[in-house]
Amino acid sequence: MGNFNFIQTEIDGVLIVEPTLYGDHRGYFMETYKESDFKEAGINCTFLQDNQSKSRKGVLRGLHFQKTYPQAKLVRVIKGEVYDVAVDLREGSPTFGKYVGVVLSEENKRQFFIPRGFAHGFLVLSDEAEFVYKCDNLYHPEDEGGLLYSDESIGIDWPFKEGLLLSDKDKVYPTLENLDFKFKL
What's 116's domain CATH number? 2.60.120.10
**Which of the pair, 2 or 152, is modelled with greater confidence?**
152
- SS3 of 170, please? helix
Q: Please count the CA atoms within 13 angstroms of the CA of 13 that sit on its side-chain side.
A: 20
Name the residue range of residue 33's domain.
Answer: 4-184
**Percent helix, strand, coil in the chain (nearest 5)?**
10, 45, 50
d(CA 124, CA 60) in angstroms, rounded, equals 7
| Structural domains of the chain, count | 1
pLDDT in tens, 101-135: 999 999 999 999 999 999 999 999 999 999 999 99
| Secondary element (H or E) of residue 169 | helix 168-172
d(CA 134, CA 141) in angstroms, rounded, equals 17
What was the pLDDT predicted at 2?
81
Catalytic site positions = 64, 133
d(CA 82, CA 137) in angstroms, rounded, equals 23
Over range 6-27, report the average pLDDT. 96
pTM: 0.95
Under 8 Å between Cβ of 135 and 33:
no
d(CA 146, CA 32) in angstroms, rounded, equals 28
